[in-house]
């Protein structure tokens, strides 16, 4: 079975639609969707709860061995994050959680700690895995690498709709500023910065609807892996 495993790596900036598109593509192709951002968010939550500075490796590093971070898939197929046995899948989805995740993700000690957890999934399942360094670091041999992007304004507009739907009163300017700050932090960090792998296909979704984006990526997957 293992010779038949397929891996799709989807990287790109926050708000490009990676998780929504990756989840839908995985469902349509019968692959498992792995949201690696959720894993970084879970570390960020643990660091926040411990009152530690998320930028300080000497404060964060010693916390890591005491964390039990796991993910599993419910009967609905959705990835659920567990931190020391507690389901934190919702708790990690706040603007503050995003900033903590982005900060801890700059630390090499955190990236090294999470590497095997991500790779192990692709050893046993066909996956669509999304993140920032999947094609460059986590799955450098992925059969298909996609760099999914969109303009900062298009991404901020989409994120604002999501936040407002949850009752969060952020404004467009708040969301755009957060987006630009997080892009800079994710792209300029020394450890595994966000960048397209040399062999990635770039897909710009600024002017595509969600359904168009999903179909475009599905077509790439079908073509690359010879799926009918």
Positions in the binding site for ligand DC (CB under 6 A): 14, 36-37, 40-41, 98, 101-102, 105, 131-134, 182, 186
Smallest separation (angstroms) from ligand DC to the CB of 112: 12
* Sheet hosting strand 201-204, strand order edge to edge: 32-35, 127-131, 7-11, 144-149, 201-204
Q: Indicate the residue among 33 and 227 with the shorter CB distance to ligand DC.
A: 33
Smallest separation (angstroms) from ligand DC to the CB of 84: 20
Smallest separation (angstroms) from ligand DC to the CB of 104: 8
Q: Indicate the residue among 9 and 221 with the shorter CB distance to ligand DC.
A: 9
| HSE-CB for 49 with a 13 A CA cutoff | 14
Cα–Cα distances (Å) from 31 to 8, 20, 174, 227, in that order, read 9, 14, 36, 12
Q: Indicate the residue among 12 and 29 with the shorter CB distance to ligand DC.
A: 12
Smallest separation (angstroms) from ligand DC to the CB of 41: 5
Smallest separation (angstroms) from ligand DC to the CB of 223: 25
- Quickly tell me which residue has 């986590």 as its tokens: 138
Smallest separation (angstroms) from ligand DC to the CB of 216: 20
Cβ neighbours around 164 below 10 Å, total: 14
Q: Indicate the residue among 46 and 105 with the shorter CB distance to ligand DC.
A: 105
Q: Indicate the residue among 31 and 40 with the shorter CB distance to ligand DC.
A: 40
Do 71 and 80 form a contact (C-beta atoms < 8 A)?
A: yes
Q: Indicate the residue among 15 and 221 with the shorter CB distance to ligand DC.
A: 15
């Amino acid at each position: 079975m293992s010779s038949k495993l397929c891996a799709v790596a989807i990287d790109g900036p926050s708000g490009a639609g990676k998780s929504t598109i990756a989840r839908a593509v995985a469902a349509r192709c019968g692959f498992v969707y792995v949201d690696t951002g959720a894993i970084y968010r879970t570390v960020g939550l643990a660091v926040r709860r411990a009152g530690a500075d998320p930028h300080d490796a000497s404060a964060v590093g010693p916390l890591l061995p005491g964390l039990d971070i796991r993910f599993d898939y419910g009967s609905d197929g959705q990835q659920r994050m567990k931190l020391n046995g507690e389901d934190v899948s919702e708790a990690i989805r706040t603007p503050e959680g995003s900033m903590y995740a982005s900060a801890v993700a700059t630390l090499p000690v955190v990236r090294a700690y999470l590497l095997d957890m991500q790779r192990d999934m692709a050893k046993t399942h066909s996956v669509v895995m999304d993140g920032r360094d999947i094609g460059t670091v986590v799955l450098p041999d992925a059969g298909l690498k996609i760099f999914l992007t969109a303009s900062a304004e298009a991404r901020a507009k989409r994120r604002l709709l999501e936040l407002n739907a949850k009752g969060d009163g952020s404004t467009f300017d708040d969301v755009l500023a957060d987006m630009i700050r997080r892009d800079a932090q994710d792209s300029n960090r020394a450890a595994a910065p966000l960048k397209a792998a040399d062999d990635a296909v770039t897909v710009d979704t600024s002017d595509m609807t969600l359904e168009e984006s999903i179909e475009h990526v599905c077509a790439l997957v079908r073509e690359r892996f010879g799926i009918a």
